[in-house]
């Protein structure tokens, strides 16, 4: 895939939609393109995060450790960003991200990700919106699970 094709992929991701093309080209150029095979982990819960991943192709499961083993809490695919929470909060990874198919990603280093957020406040707003959507979904899922558990 060419640099221009990667820029076009980035342009279609809401997080990067308002970033000027020259900056997207820099992002694509400085990002690392990686491939993970089905079953491989992009990142592991508990590790310190040093990068976020943009899924270019394929699908992943977001897993959290429980006493009963890993629990899938989300499925992510093309154009989704994963792994950003630990680089934004300087805490260990909150989940394991595992490929459920062969997956191609752009790996964005923590330093570059944070620099882009400083330079492009709209990107920071989009990240907050996405995190708020995820929190809302998690809260709704938890509420349903607790209600179902209470009805037994």
* Distance in angstroms (rounded) separating the CA atoms of residues 46 and 94: 7
Q: Domain 3-150: what homologous superfamily?
A: Jelly Rolls (2.60.120.10)
Which pair of tokens denotes residue 9? 């992929």
Which pair of tokens denotes residue 5? 């094709």
Q: What is the pLDDT of residue 116?
A: 81
Q: What is the pTM of this model?
A: 0.81
H-helix or E-strand containing 130? helix 121-150
* Distance in angstroms (rounded) separating the CA atoms of residues 132 and 152: 31
Q: What is the pLDDT of residue 96?
A: 95
For the CA atoms of the chain, what is the radius of gyration? 16
Q: Please tell me what DSSP assigns to residue 90.
A: T
CB atoms within 10 A of CB 6: 20
Q: What is the pLDDT of residue 18?
A: 74
Residue 152: pLDDT band (50, 70, 90) is low
The overall longest dimension of the chain from CA atoms, in Å, is: 57
Structural domain spans, the chain: 3-150
- 85-143 pLDDT tens trace: 888 888 899 899 999 999 999 999 999 888 888 888 877 887 888 888 888 888 888 88
* Distance in angstroms (rounded) separating the CA atoms of residues 111 and 121: 16
Are 106 and 42 contacting, i.e. CB atoms less than 8 angstroms apart?
A: no
Report the DSSP pairing between strands 103-109 and 81-82: unpaired
Q: Considering only CA atoms, which of 138, 130, 5 is closest in space to residue 71?
A: 138
Q: What is the pLDDT of residue 151?
A: 60
pLDDT at 1 exceeding the cut of 60: yes
Q: Considering only CA atoms, which of 103, 79, 82, 76 is closest in space to residue 11?
A: 79
């Amino acid at each position: 895939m060419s640099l221009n094709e990667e820029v076009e992929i980035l342009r279609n991701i809401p997080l990067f939609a308002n970033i000027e093309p020259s900056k997207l080209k820099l992002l694509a150029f400085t990002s690392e393109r990686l491939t993970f095979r089905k079953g491989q982990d992009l990142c592991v819960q508990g590790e310190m995060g040093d990068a976020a991943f943009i899924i270019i192709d394929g699908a992943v499961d977001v897993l959290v450790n429980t006493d009963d083993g890993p629990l899938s809490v989300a499925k992510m695919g093309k154009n989704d960003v994963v792994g950003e929470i630990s680089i934004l909060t300087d805490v260990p990874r909150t989940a394991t991200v595992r490929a459920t198919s062969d997956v191609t990603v752009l790996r964005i280093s923590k330093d570059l990700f944070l620099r882009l957020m400083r330079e492009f406040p709209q990107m920071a707003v989009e990240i907050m919106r996405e995190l708020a959507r995820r929190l809302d979904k998690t809260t709704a899922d938890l509420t349903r699970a607790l209600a179902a558990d209470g009805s037994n």
